[in-house]
């Protein structure tokens, strides 16, 4: 078996569901044949997880029935484990494996502190998305772009804030025009366009951040990866490198994005060759920093385009889902508008539109933080694969190959941590902060074992400082310039539940009009 196949089939469940949206191809048949021959083998092997309590029971028949609920009810399985085995590590069956779940704060600390060669985030991403087949090995092997986001991008946020604000304003004005009559706006697609445009202003600058085809390819890239991944998952491992090249759409996306990025990369490289790294009028954007830090082999148009696409992959839908979840709360409960307007207007009067101003909008910060607590965008966080056997300090043994995650949603809805946790309380965190002198403990970007929508520890989202500034500037602009409501007044569109993710309703619309004073 290839070294990349950590979910050794002997740890898997002896069945495999066909995802509803997928066609059953010849590759599926091949895989099925292989799985069936392993099936008998699995039943005879001792269960390596026998010591870990299982939601829905550990027998093959009961696990099969429980796992069927995974597609659309994974959180119910996690919550059942959280309630039944409180404080113990437990497992839930998903379509093709057991998924180990931890929730106790000290165990989350152990999860985050475990070395990368024992509990690996990188391998989790690669195993679930097949990045190395779809985008090449270097994107996984060499992660210099993470340092660029964590360091240069985050440090330059105050310098870049004006550009960000300008792009947000022009994107809103183009995409959601201010009208005197109420108009119904399809929320998710419009928000994703605004987020993509604002983010790419900072990633690659004007005019590329306004090119419709470039934006579309970045917005659709997530779909392209996940469709391609679904094809690869039914391909035998040894055929994947070959099939990835012919059966997937990822390389087409790279070609389209490179059409826009190629010329500016070459132009910038020519200036670097002539004048050195600090050439006159060098643009202040993420592409410049990538080009500074890239090794020679990483400085090609294809490799740099790959990086930009990967960063858009990490940025666009995470931020758009977070904003849309928040927007639905605000539109369902527009009484939150007035207090936020007062706060935003008074802060802007003192500070102007600056990064400092964003840190002083405590109600706005709280509203976003509460929405990520209440909805999250995923039921789990701190996803890892065990590359070696690992033992938690309570003695729970985790065999090599295991998928482990933290029960984000259950933690965020724990009454002991968040009183009245089933209530959406937009100013929950702002109210706490009035007591503690507005220190940073309860601000949006802060993580702790009790607040993990951005993860926690060394892999905690490095883009969250950028995301927080972008989302706050977007929300502040929206709150000051529009009235919003739901067509069915007071009714918030229901969250979706797709495997481990919890997206907002991507089909719903929100009513917008120009703010009436
Ligand atoms: C509200 C929006 C966002 C949310 C909720 C979010 C959430 C997350 C989470 C949960 C992780 C994994 C942490 C872990 O498992 O410990 C992560 C990692 C990451 N995020 Fe974000 N993210 C957001 C926005 C962004 C943006 C805007 C960028 C880029 C500018 C970004 C770049 C990354 C990168 C590069 C990683 C990988 C870190 C690593 O491998 O160490 N994210 N994010
Ligand atoms: C912006 O990032 C660069 C790194 O390329 C750094 O040298 C510079 O100090 C940063 N600017 C600010 C204002 O921090
Ligand atoms: C999603 O929204 C529903 C109500 O629309 C709410 O009850 C629930 O707590 C939210 N979060 C999750 C994770 O489902
Ligand atoms: C900040 O506030 C938290 C409570 O929100 C408190 O536990 C912590 O001690 C405070 N830290 C400082 C430095 O005041
Ligand atoms: C159920 O899951 C499927 C994909 O597995 C998804 O397409 C569908 O939207 C989900 N339904 C809900 C209500 O979340």
Q: Which ligand neighbours the alpha carbon of 70 most closely?
A: 5
Strand ranges across the sheet with 183-186: 183-186, 509-514, 482-485
Q: What is the pLDDT of residue 11?
A: 35
Average pLDDT over residues 205-232: 92
Average pLDDT over residues 470-481: 98
Average pLDDT over residues 345-354: 98
Average pLDDT over residues 88-96: 91
Give the start-to-end residue ranges of the domains of the chain.
Answer: 142-378+413-514
Lowest mean pLDDT among 239-243, 295-299, 498-502: 239-243
Say yes or no: CB of residue 375 within 6 Å of ligand 3: yes
Look at residue 343 and tell me whether its pLDDT is greater than 50: yes
Residue whose structure tokens are 């790959």: 306
Site to probe by mutation for ligand 3, drawn from 330, 374, 424 as the one with most ligand atoms within 8 Å of Cβ, is 374
Reported as a single tens digit per residue, the pLDDT across 372-400 is 999 999 999 999 999 999 999 999 999 99
Q: Is 493:158 a contact under the CB 8 Å cutoff? A: no
Percent of the chain that is helix, strand, coil (3-state, to 5): 60, 10, 35
Q: What is the pLDDT of residue 389?
A: 97
Q: Which ligand neighbours the alpha carbon of 439 most closely?
A: 4
pTM (two decimals): 0.92
Say yes or no: CB of residue 441 within 6 Å of ligand 4: yes
Look at residue 22 and tell me whether its pLDDT is greater than 70: no
Say yes or no: CB of residue 432 within 6 Å of ligand 4: yes
Q: Which atom belonging to ligand 2 lies closest to the Cα atom of 152?
A: 2
Ligand 5: lining residues by beta carbon, under 6 Å: 20, 71-72, 496-498
Look at residue 289 and tell me whether its pLDDT is greater than 90: yes
Stated as kind and residue range, the H or E segment containing 163 is helix 157-175
Q: Which ligand neighbours the alpha carbon of 17 most closely?
A: 5
Q: How far apart are CA 19 and CA 23, in angstroms?
A: 8
Q: How far is the CA of 311 from the centre of ligand 1 (A)?
A: 9
Average pLDDT over residues 137-153: 90
Q: What is the pLDDT of residue 324?
A: 98
Pairing between β-strand 482-485 and β-strand 509-514 as defined by DSSP bridges: antiparallel
Residue nearest to atom 13 of ligand 5 (CA): 496
Q: Is 442:365 a contact under the CB 8 Å cutoff? A: no
- Residue 273 structure tokens: 């060759």
Say yes or no: CB of residue 426 within 6 Å of ligand 1: no
Q: How far is the CA of 99 from the centre of ligand 5 (A)?
A: 20
Domain 142-378+413-514 classification at class level: mainly alpha
Site to probe by mutation for ligand 1, drawn from 108, 403, 461, 503 as the one with most ligand atoms within 8 Å of Cβ, is 461
At 348, the pLDDT band (50, 70, 90 cuts) reads very high
Q: Is 453:407 a contact under the CB 8 Å cutoff? A: no
Look at residue 27 and tell me whether its pLDDT is greater than 90: no
Give the mean pLDDT of the chain.
90
User: DSSP states of 434-446 as a string?
Assistant: HHTTT-GGGSTT-
Look at residue 316 and tell me whether its pLDDT is greater than 50: yes
Look at residue 265 and tell me whether its pLDDT is greater than 90: yes
Residue nearest to atom 7 of ligand 5 (CA): 498
Lowest mean pLDDT among 85-99, 124-138, 259-273, 321-335: 124-138
Reported as a single tens digit per residue, the pLDDT across 72-81 is 999 999 999 9
Say yes or no: CB of residue 494 within 6 Å of ligand 3: yes
Q: What is the pLDDT of residue 31?
A: 59
Q: Is 317:195 a contact under the CB 8 Å cutoff? A: no
Q: How far apart are CA 186 and CA 190, in angstroms?
A: 6
- Which residues are CB-neighbours of 23 under 8 A, at least 6 positions away? none
Q: How far is the CA of 452 from the centre of ligand 3 (A)?
A: 17
Q: How far apart are CA 101 and CA 82, in angstroms?
A: 9
User: DSSP states of 464-477 as a string?
Assistant: HHHHHHHHHHHHHH
> Between 287 and 142, whose confidence is greater?
287
Look at residue 212 and tell me whether its pLDDT is greater than 50: yes
Q: Which ligand neighbours the alpha carbon of 380 most closely?
A: 1
Q: What is the pLDDT of residue 20?
A: 37
Strand ranges across the sheet with 403-406: 90-93, 98-102, 403-406, 381-386, 119-120
Pick from 302, 347, 324: nearest CA to 438: 347
Q: What is the pLDDT of residue 382?
A: 97
């Amino acid at each position: 078996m290839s070294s990349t196949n950590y979910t050794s089939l002997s740890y898997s469940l002896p069945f495999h569901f066909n995802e509803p949206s997928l066609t059953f191809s010849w590759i599926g048949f091949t895989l099925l044949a292989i799985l069936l021959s392993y099936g008998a083998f699995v039943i005879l092997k001792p269960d390596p997880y026998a010591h870990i309590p299982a939601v829905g029971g550990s027998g093959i028949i009961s696990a099969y029935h429980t796992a069927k609920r995974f597609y659309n009810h994974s959180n119910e399985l996690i919550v059942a484990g959280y309630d039944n085995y409180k404080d113990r590590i437990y497992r839930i069956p998903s379509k093709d494996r057991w998924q180990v779940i931890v929730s106790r704060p000290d165990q989350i600390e152990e999860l985050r502190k475990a070395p990368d060669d024992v509990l690996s985030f990188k391998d989790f991403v690669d195993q679930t998305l097949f990045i190395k087949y779809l985008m090449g090995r270097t994107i996984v092997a060499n992660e210099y772009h993470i340092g660029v986001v964590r360091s240069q991008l985050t440090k330059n946020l105050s310098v870049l804030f004006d550009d960000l604000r300008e792009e947000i304003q022009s994107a809103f004005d183009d995409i959601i025009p201010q009208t005197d009559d109420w108009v119904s706006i399809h929320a998710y697609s419009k928000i994703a366009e605004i987020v993509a445009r604002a983010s790419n202003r900072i990633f690659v600058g004007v005019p590329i951040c306004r090119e419709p085809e470039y934006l579309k390819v970045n917005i659709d890239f997530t779909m392209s990866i996940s469709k391609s991944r679904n094809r690869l998952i039914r391909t035998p491992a040894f055929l994947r490198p070959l099939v990835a090249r012919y059966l997937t759409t990822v390389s087409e996306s790279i070609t389209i994005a490179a059409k826009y990025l190629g010329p500016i990369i070459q132009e910038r490289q020519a200036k670097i060759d002539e004048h050195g790294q600090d050439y006159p009028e060098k643009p202040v954007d993420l592409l410049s920093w990538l080009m500074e830090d890239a090794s020679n082999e990483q400085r090609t148009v294809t490799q740099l385009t790959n990086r930009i696409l990967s960063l858009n992959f990490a940025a666009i839908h995470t931020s758009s889902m977070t904003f849309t979840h928040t927007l639905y709360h605000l539109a369902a409960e527009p009484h939150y508008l007035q207090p936020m307007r007062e706060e935003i207007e008074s802060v802007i009067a003192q500070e102007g539109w600056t990064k400092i101003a964003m840190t002083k909008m405590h109600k706005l910060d709280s509203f976003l933080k509460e929405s990520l607590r209440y909805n999250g965008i995923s039921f789990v966080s701190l996803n890892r694969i065990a590359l070696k056997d690992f033992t938690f300090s309570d003695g729970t043994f985790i065999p090599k190959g295991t998928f482990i995650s933290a029960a984000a949603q259950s933690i965020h809805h724990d009454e002991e941590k968040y009183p009245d946790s089933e209530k959406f309380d937009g100013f929950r965190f702002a109210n706490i902060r009035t007591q503690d002198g507005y220190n940073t403990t309860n601000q949006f970007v802060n993580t702790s074992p009790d607040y993990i929508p951005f993860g926690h520890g060394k892999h905690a989202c490095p883009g969250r400082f950028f995301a927080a500034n972008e989302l706050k500037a977007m929300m502040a602009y929206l709150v000051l310039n529009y009235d919003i409501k739901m067509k069915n007044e007071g009714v918030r569109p229901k969250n979706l539940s797709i495997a481990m993710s919890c997206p907002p309703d991507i089909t719903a619309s929100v009513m917008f009009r120009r703010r009436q004073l």
